Structure 1
Amino acid sequence: MRMIDRLREYVEHETPTGATDALNAFADRLLHRYGDLGGTARRVAAATGDHVVADFPGRGPRAEEAPLLFLGHHDTVWPIGRLEQMPWREQDGVIHGPGVFDMKGGLVVLETALEQVADHDHRPVRVIVTADEEVGSPSARDLVTAESAGVVAALGLEPPHPNGDVKTSRRGSSRLRIEVTGREAHAALDPGRGVSAIDELVDQLIVVRALVARYGDVLCNVGTITGGGRTNVVPGQAAAELGFRFVDPETERAVLDAVTGLQPVRRDAVLTVSVLSNRPAWQPSAAVDELLVQVAEAGRSVGQEVGGKAASGAADTNLTGWLGVPTLDGFGPRGKGAHASHEQVIAASLAERADLVAAIIRTI
């Protein structure tokens, strides 16, 4: 099957984060596919969708070497039915569709590379495909940590930088939820008895904004706010979910400690702060630089020039990079529009990236 045909098959199997049945059905596809490619694959059960781990044996004199780890995910940000607004489309060498760039294209790249190395000597290959990467991999973090033990390096199948450069470090990413319980009362007849959960939440968000302003390189996005119900009732419940991005672990720890330690401003208000997910900052290192040199050499062997630079977005490679495993990301196809309605990949880059990944497997 052509790479483009397989990618279409994958994209048209919609897999939103949390859609357990759809994700598990896609996991079945991966299990069969990895088995056909000579791997031993297994599911790792999770309430919000199963993860997949596959091991491919090494070949020749390198069969007993430490494995090379590839990281991917099969969940997307798009709900079931998004294909109606964003149908699969090929035009002028560009492929459009939900999940085509982030990151089902990367899954197809790896499968094709594994086909290419079937008759070549290489070290063992391990693959982890997670089901909740788009929300910070809360159920997959321990799995990635355990399966990365003893690997020689980790390579992510996320999209590359626009020019094709791979990613050499990533910001840390944490999702937090602030919940406030106040006390309901009639907003006109007995307002003094009420404790407004919404007012308390707004004041807490102002505190968070002032905290973040003390650090020039911290990003904070208030992604959702909920609360209240009627304008004539003092609201008794309110909540917000926030996303933070950090360059270094020291700042990350300081900000998270401050936010999780918030105290109510109002008497009788109850404040709860929960960490929903956390992927620590992955910073540049000499080991990453050395790995990039090896990847560049592999690229030149197939006529490609490969560079690397830092990235702002977080991914599962944060988890391996933070642990000190030599890590690079961005081996998926080139394109643009992650999480956007114009999501797309350059068709020719599918084969280019497969050639690169195959060269890496053969040589690293």
Structure 2
Amino acid sequence: MTTFPADREADDSSDDIIALVRELVLVETPSRDTVASARIADILSRRFAEVGGAVQRVDTAAGTDLVIDVPGSGDPILLIGHTDTVWPVGTLDGDVPWSTEGDVVRGPGAYDMKAGIVVMLEALRSLQPLPLPRRRAVRVILVSDEEVGSPVSGPLLAERAQGVAAAIGFESPHPDGALKVGRRGSARVRLGVTGRAAHAALDPERGVSAVDELVDQLVRVREIVSAPDLPGPVLCNVGIITGGARTNVVPAQAQAEIGLRFADPVTEETVLRALHALTPHRDGAVVSAEVLSARPAWQASAQDDALLEGIAAAGHPLGQSISGRPAAGAGDTNLLGALGVPTVDGFGPRGGGAHAVDEHFLRSSLRERVALLRAVLTIPAG
């Protein structure tokens, strides 16, 4: 095995594709790090310009998004991805160094999803010798805040995707390589409680405990998400709880951040409406529910299935058997699929360990995905 910390050069010149992945991985890009986002946008702007792309940079409060148009025939096929990762700066020198061992390539954000961006680049590079009538027009959208729910880029996605014929997402596939057709909806909700501070021993009756109120509200949340009359199942995870400051002070503030996953839009609407309608158990307490980010449930349509069939047909001459099925996780393709744009996701290479210290992708799968995307974007002669 060969490993390299962030400040050391490695000779991957024998494999230009892996070298390109490494170039992107060595720019550590945690969400909301606008400086790092601009750095990787510089690299990708140059790389996509080399394959004929007209690059538009969009600087936002979350980072730098890229919208890239590559000429070809017909309405463009949208390729969508993200440049941010869940990893803090310094991960390369710590838990997840860059390494290659046989078919396995590791690094923070390599699997989710910088290798997927390289699939786009290398497929487009391979199409450059073809005349424009022989290749599809392409639009690439790379956002900088996907890992935190796309709170800034998400509302702009529908506008940026206007006029596209179909959308392909480059998140990781299912473990067996199957594409993702349909995804659960997701929402991040902050449940906040304001109480009233008081001395916990001398005059506790004057206080209203925000922490106690929050505990009772979370019990109510569990009842809402498990109600038997909901149309579909809900996944609920209380990920962050904060509140209070001292044990001798009745806490005046408390909050929880809750992650929710929905199989269908009716369930999503029902649950979010119930959360906004929560009322306090204690006189003097104030309860609020704020949606921090949300992606609608995407249920596979006949158009999505037809797109999957077309991709499978393109893969057949390559010896690739392509299938697809719904996925539990949400992503930017949720909005496109829910809007009725023919959509599939999971076009990144196979691997594993997304968001974990064993994050990796398979070199052989990367090459397979490049060949498959090239076939999808090639218009047969005659």
TM range (shorter): over 0.9
Task: Read off the aligned partner of 1:70 and give its amino acid letter.
Answer: L
The answer as to 2:6 corresponding to 1:6 is no
Q: Which residue of 2 aligns with 1:51?
A: 65
Q: Secondary structure of 2:341's partner?
A: coil
CA distance in 1, matches of 2:360, 2:233: 30
**Equivalences for residues 314-325 of structure 1 within 5 A:** 314-325=330-341
Q: Which secondary structure state, in structure 2, belongs to the residue aligned with residue 231 of structure 1? A: coil
Counterpart of 2:115 in structure 1 is 105
For 2:309 and 2:137, the matched residues in 1 are separated by 21
Give CA-to-partner distance per residue, 1:231-261, whole Å, 9 cap, x none: 1111111111111000100010000100122
Partner of 1:95: 105
CA distance in 2, matches of 1:93, 1:124: 32
Correspondence list, 1:1-364, <5 A: 2-58=16-72, 63=73, 65-83=74-92, 84-120=94-130, 121-214=134-227, 215=230, 217-363=233-379
**Alignment-mate amino acid for residue 91 of structure 2:** R
Partner amino acid for 1:21? V
Q: Given residue 146 of structure 1, which amino acid in structure 2 is its aligned partner?
A: E
Per-residue deviation at 1:16?
0.3
Q: Secondary structure at the match of 1:276?
A: strand
Indicate conservation of the 8 Å contact 1:301/1:359, yes or no.
no
- Aligned-partner SS, 1:67: strand
Deviation at 1:142, TM superposition (A): 2.4
Report the 3-state secondary structure (helix = DSSP H, G, I; strand = E; otherwise coil) of the residue aligned with 1:127: strand
Q: How many angstroms apart in 2 are the aligned matches of 1:170 and 1:150?
A: 23
TM-score, normalised relative to structure 1: 0.97
Residue by residue, what CA displacement relative to the aligned partner does 1:241-287 show, whole Å, maximum 9, x if unpaired?
11100010001000010012211111111112111111000001110
Report the Cα distance in structure 2 between the residues aligned to 1:185 and 1:142, rounded to whole angstroms: 42
Q: How many residues align?
A: 359
User: Structure 2 CA distance, aligned partners of 1:147 and 1:334?
Assistant: 28
In structure 1, the residue corresponding to 2:116 is in which secondary structure? helix
Q: For each residue in 1:65-113, what CA deviation from the matched residue of structure 2 results, as whole angstroms up to 9, or x when unmatched? A: 1110010000000111111221011113201111011000100111000
* Amino acid aligned to 2:152: S
The TM-score normalised by the length of structure 2 is: 0.92
How far is 1:363 from its partner? 4.1
Give unmatched runs, 5+ long, in structure 2.
1-12
